[in-house]
Structure 1
């Protein structure tokens, strides 16, 4: 019973905090990821922390150092990636290096943080969480056929796993699946498989497919590359050129896959071959396909999906999430909640339709009254039909 309680408590902790806990536990256990503090007759004891490229802390560190110190990636490869940071009067020495001598013989970039042992509590309790908070601004990339390159803009979508309208059981299952996938780099390397996972999001327009993509990107701290197939692609080489321009640790989004294939010269086999064939650098990729009509998809495509997620209509719990997002309402009961609960349970309304009604006024009563009228109108039309 106690084991299950501890397990459930740990699962409730957010992933960044888990990383810090694991990091500190590895330090206490003397893991090779954290070298033992060294002693020099001319120096105090020092602790050297090695951050490998397999967690969110690595990504946050990369964003923090590259943005603050404008480090040139070329210098890293010639061993010049060294910077000194100052935090609350404490000097911290960073080194960025390419590790070619690890046990798995995999070339990878690592960060080394060195500091005096007497500042250990400050570093683990304050500095590392500070670096963790400096995650870079995510970007959405679209391809320009005119310039033959990917162009970027900020991914400023508001959705996160905390704000998205989604069945709680399905949401927890997806988060667990993402966590498990991100922990299995060594497995994919050992068996010689590409570190890629395919997801299919299906449901009617307005059910939250795009919002879920944004939530997944923020959770993983991955940029999103929107791969559109409706434009004319003359050869399979053109498709591969696009795919090869996609950076490491990212999400590839193929929206409306059923319609995209109809309007493109690229065949399904070419698309799947292209997406499966370019992951050659050992980094993680997520490929997300979306469709409004799952039943129209080719069985070959469906067989490639590791997880199929149906985004459904809005239930009362989903409405309360949206009411919190758009109107700032907590779990406190509003006098219109019983009417909304009765009406929304029998009507096929999407989260997008509910959100649209709630956005019509910042006044809580006015917005909820408008939603009630919308639901009553749908009920009237449904009954007539």
Structure 2
């Protein structure tokens, strides 16, 4: 069993999930673009499909919604098969809501009528009460008579969300809903939308290419690579326990440096010997690549043991992200508080803060020096 499969199995829940994808393939003209995807999302949890453009995440979302058939496997919603080869329950009969990238608000309808659009068959009193409740929930009480063109992008996003929530869908799907927002607003809005979904006890799936949105929004994240799930896990595990090199590179910032396994908790690298619990148990002498995150090392000219040169720096407000050159020419990234403003070309010393070692085997090597 692969590490990704182990990671997926470890987070499965004993009760029936609201959404279950069972080894599905999706494709066009007989050619699969999504391969063997399986995951389970319990009721009330928020999931995310994260990956670069063209990886298949939006195709997967469209299949969950009912807009694309599956070539193999099955999609179950609330214990009912809604997609199998030759059988697809239409979107309007799935009890699934959607929030689109462009919001798709009706410009000729005011805010209240936009929200009430999907519950037109409810009684007048029930519609009015639901609209009032949702306007309060999204923080736009008093905006019912306004029109979409008079709202900011963030306000339009909240109205689109309220409209999707109005019929109380079993599952809400969000397709890159924050992509048109300013970078500064995205994280705040993602956290606000998460709060709203929690208040409504709504199960949801977000599609995004932005890991910061995913981290702020989701309980479980599926990293998609070339149409497959590389890892389905918590944000913490994706960052600290990536299942493969793609996840290690795509999630967070970091560098893979060569090393040699010395013991079960010690690796020889350009830093010298580093120690910590290892993500994979490998025999001594195995050549590995070690993941170095910016928070694994710290600039410390008093107690640091590794001499480096500053090649580049990026100001991030409270911190600088430095690019440092090790003695053997390897470059690594290091985050440091911005009150210490080191200059490019300056030599500084590093203190190692490794608590665990994420390693990927490169095959067998020679004996570790000094082992």
| Fold in common (TM above 0.5) | no
- How does the TM-score come out when normalised to structure 1? 0.25
Q: Whose strand fraction is larger, Structure 1's or Structure 2's?
A: 2
RCO higher in structure (CA 8 A, sep ≥6):
2
Q: Whose helix fraction is larger, Structure 1's or Structure 2's?
A: 1
